[in-house]
Amino acid sequence: MAPKNILLTGSAGFVGSHLTERFLADGHTVIGVDNYISGQPANTALFANHPNFKFIQADVSEGIPYKAAAFDGQTLDFVLHFASPASPPHYQQFPIKTLMVGAQGTQNALELAHAHGATFLLASTSEVYGDPQVHPQPESYWGHVNPNGLRSCYDEAKRYAEAITFAYHRHHGVDTRVIRIFNTYGPRMRPDDGRVVTNLVMQALAGGPLTVYGDGQQTRSFQYVTDLVGGIVALMGLPESEAVHGPVNLGNPDEYTILEFAQVIRELIEPGLEIIHEPLPADDPRQRKPDISRARELLGWAPGVDLRAGLTRTVESFRQQVLQA
Ligand code: NAD
Ligand code: UDP
């Protein structure tokens, strides 16, 4: 892709920081927007001295204060909406803000894309499938979501976000793309975000025990973050004439029970560590595995980093963080 101007909401988050790194390396300009509700100022600081990186601290649910005049008159080519608390403890701590960033935040980002004639890309989630009754999950599956349970602030916000994205495409002709991201991990996750990867890695580095919720027979499929970034870049690279506006799953189909996952972490860090069981949270999906046929056919994309390789890199980065603390 020739150099583009990309506005990225959620730039200070885990995925946002990896996208920013890749876009800058590819010669694009990145305007990051974040309010740090679940992100880290350190992720903004990483790029603060880069000539093609600009940052706006703002709550995108209240508006996105991007004024081209303040940025050398630059028109945006892409608006990527990644802002949203994403870990269950975070979104359950901020349920209303999570709903608002999925609803009003998405609309504000769509309006900006519409005004600039930019391509809009929404970070949706495998959570739109809820506790799925179809396995693995293809994009054609409509999902099985509890509309008022503990996870609904996130699941339903993303389902609404998809709906309004398609409305802007159909009604205003905005070039929209939607990705459904499955569990993704890697360096620069917040160590205290409460997700299974960070919890177990941090617990193992501290000498255990490792907490497995429920019997640990629920499954997840874990994708290393650079694989996700590769899929996003491929989807952005499709010209509008070839673009598919329907959702595209991006995930790694290698499925593990959470107990198996804990055993892999233990093997990589300290084989003797204890695994303990804690209560399973309400509405915790029993299984999750992407059908990635669409991404394979449309983008020629498939994940390339297996769990042990990705976890080894992740553990190393957390080990450095712990040593520096
Ligand atoms: P994250 O919490 O690390 O990053 C989200 C970022 O959005 C944070 O920096 C946060 O401060 C910012 N943010 C939230 N609300 C905001 C608001 N109103 N205004 C401005 N900034 C706001 O999470 P992540 O894992 O990097 O997830 C990024 C996106 O990808 C999210 O939209 C998430 O739903 C989606 N996603 C992630 C995963 C995953 O496994 N990591 C899976 C599915 C979907
Ligand atoms: N989990 C766990 N121990 C932990 C944290 C999470 O067993 O310390 C489980 C959680 O109940 C879920 C799975 O791991 O079944 C993945 O949880 P996570 O919060 O990472 O993401 P989710 O896929 O549920 O959104």
In the chain, the domains with their CATH numbers are 5-184+223-250 (3.40.50.720), 186-221+253-287+305-324 (3.90.25.10)
Residue 92 burial by CB count (10 A; 0-12/13-18/19+): exposed, middle or buried? middle
Residue 262 CA: nearest ligand 2 atom is 7
- Give the distance (Å) from ligand 1 centre to CA of residue 236: 19
34 lines ligand 1 (CB under 6 A): yes
Q: What is the interface pTM, i.e. ipTM, of the complex?
A: 0.99
The ligand that comes nearest to the alpha carbon of residue 219 is 2
83 lines ligand 1 (CB under 6 A): yes
- Give the distance (Å) from ligand 2 centre to CA of residue 214: 10
User: Residue type for 113, please?
Assistant: A
- The pLDDT of residue 73 is above 90: no
Cis, bond preceding 41 (omega within 30 deg of 0): no
Locate 207 and state its tokens. 């000498």
Pocket of ligand 2 from Cβ distances under 6 Å: 87-88, 183, 195-196, 199, 211-213, 218, 220, 258, 280-281, 284
Q: What is the pLDDT of residues 13-61, one digit of tens each?
A: 999 999 999 999 999 999 999 999 999 999 999 999 999 999 999 999 9
The ligand that comes nearest to the alpha carbon of residue 122 is 1
Angle at 6 between CA 192 and CA 8, to 5 degrees: 25
Clarify whether 154 is annotated catalytic: yes
Radius of gyration of the chain (CA): 19
Q: What is the pLDDT of residues 195-226, one digit of tens each?
A: 999 999 999 999 999 999 999 999 999 999 99
Torsion of CA 106, 295, 141, 166, to 10 degrees: 30
Name the nearest CA neighbour of 15 among 64, 84, 72.
Answer: 84
- Give the distance (Å) from ligand 2 centre to CA of residue 212: 8
The pLDDT value recorded for residue 71 is 79
Residue 197 CA: nearest ligand 2 atom is 20
The residue contributing the CA closest to ligand 2 atom 1 is 196
The ligand that comes nearest to the alpha carbon of residue 101 is 1
